[in-house]
């Protein structure tokens, strides 16, 4: 213990930087947990869809969905979550990837799904825009 105290006093800047980085990492994990699961890249989403039969839940409105969506995505607009809980319940036993336009509304939807008892929910990082940036196809 004395050696640790000596190290900290001799390397004060490194010690402070270590504490800052550690607190940022912990904050990131806590934020992901509170927001209803992890944020995943498009490549991880395709892996989950192909290997674990994950459901892509597109929470954009119907007109945005019809302009272009991920193949086999289920469209339940976030504004209709309260009225469509029976449709959401059907998805409970599978991994669900939540997709919105840019990835910001997906956090709210993930929290709502967690309250309904969903254990495997993920947020598509960057939403449809992130999907497009990864040069992945959209269906119309």
User: What is the per-residue pLDDT across 17-44, written as a single tens digit (0 to 9) for each?
Assistant: 888 898 888 876 666 555 556 889 999 9
Please write the tens of the pLDDT for every residue from 7-22: 888 988 988 888 889 8
pLDDT tens digits, 64-105 = 999 999 999 999 999 998 899 888 888 888 999 999 999 888
- The domains of the chain are located at 2-32, 37-133
Residue 122 CA to residue 125 CA, distance in Å, equals 9
Q: What is the pLDDT of residue 28?
A: 67
Any idea which fold 37-133 has? Oxidized Rhodanese; domain 1 (3.40.250)
SS3 content of the chain, % helix, strand, coil (to 5): 55, 15, 30
């Amino acid at each position: 213990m004395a050696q640790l105290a000596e190290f900290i006093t001799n390397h004060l800047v490194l010690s402070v930087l270590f504490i800052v980085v550690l607190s940022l990492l912990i904050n990131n994990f806590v934020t992901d947990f509170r927001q209803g699961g992890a944020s995943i890249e498009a490549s991880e989403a395709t892996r989950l869809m192909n290997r674990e039969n994950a459901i892509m839940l597109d929470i954009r409105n119907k007109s945005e969905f019809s302009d272009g969506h991920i193949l086999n995505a289920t469209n339940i607009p976030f504004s209709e979550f309260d009225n469509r809980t029976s449709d959401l319940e059907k998805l409970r036993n599978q991994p669900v990837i939540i997709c919105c336009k840019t990835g910001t509304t997906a956090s709210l939807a993930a929290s709502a799904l967690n309250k309904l008892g969903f254990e495997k929910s993920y947020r598509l990082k960057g939403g449809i825009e992130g999907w497009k940036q990864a040069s992945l196809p959209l269906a119309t």
